[in-house]
Amino acid sequence: MEKFEIDIKWGSYFFIANMTISIIIVSLMCLINIYSLVYLSDFLIPLFIVQLIYFTIKAIRENNKYHLNKGFRKIFIFVRLLVFYYLLAMFSNTTTNESSSSTFFLFLPYRKKDISELVEDDSNRDDEITLKEFIIRLKRKFSRA
């Protein structure tokens, strides 16, 4: 196996395990008391760190099994797992409202306005155009460029 295949495999396992356990913890906290969600980050951040270390060790062991690690490359496995997790989390973040965008401030910016808001509404213009007017408009358009 290639080293990137191993990193992607363990990165995806990390993402799946982290998301599953996070959903379970959030639902348990909601069932117990809805106000306990205030302390959610106290549980999820250490859990994330422990899982990241665990899956990094698993990836390093598998890379050693295929003799793909040499020297400082173990640090790069950690970075590749973290980057892959970041990309999957960014891909799964499809919300566009303002309140959730402050939570995911590291993700790439999203389109704030809908395309229909940016396009001017020409419904009051006369949609019927003759061939002569169309040719004149085309000549004007291409003469500017």
5-61 per-position pLDDT tens digit: 888 899 999 999 999 999 999 999 999 988 888 888 898 999 999 999 999 999 989
pLDDT in tens, 102-134: 444 444 555 555 656 555 555 555 567 788 888
Q: Where are the alpha helices (DSSP H) in 33-119?
A: 40-65, 73-92, 98-101, 115-118
Q: What is the mean pLDDT of residues 75-90?
A: 85
State the Cα torsion 11-86-47-70 to the nearest 10°: 50
pLDDT tens digits along 60-78: 899 888 888 776 777 888 8
End-to-end CA distance of the chain: 54
- 48-75 burial, b at 16+ Cβ within 10 Å, e below that, comes to beebbeebbebbbebbeeeebbeeeeee
Q: Tell me, what's the pLDDT at 116?
A: 61
Both tokens of 56, joined, read 């990094």
Q: Is the pLDDT of residue 91 over 80?
A: no
- In this prediction, residue 96 carries a pLDDT of 45
pLDDT at 127: 61
Average pLDDT over residues 97-105: 48
**Residues of the chain with pLDDT > 90: what percent?**
27
CB 23 within 8 A of CB 47: no
What's the pTM value of the predicted model, to 2 decimals?
Answer: 0.60
Residue pair 104/93 in contact by the 8 Å Cβ criterion: yes
Check if the beta carbon of residue 81 is closer than 8 Å to that of residue 59: yes
Task: Give the model's pLDDT for residue 23.
Answer: 92
In this prediction, residue 126 carries a pLDDT of 55
Residue length of the chain: 145
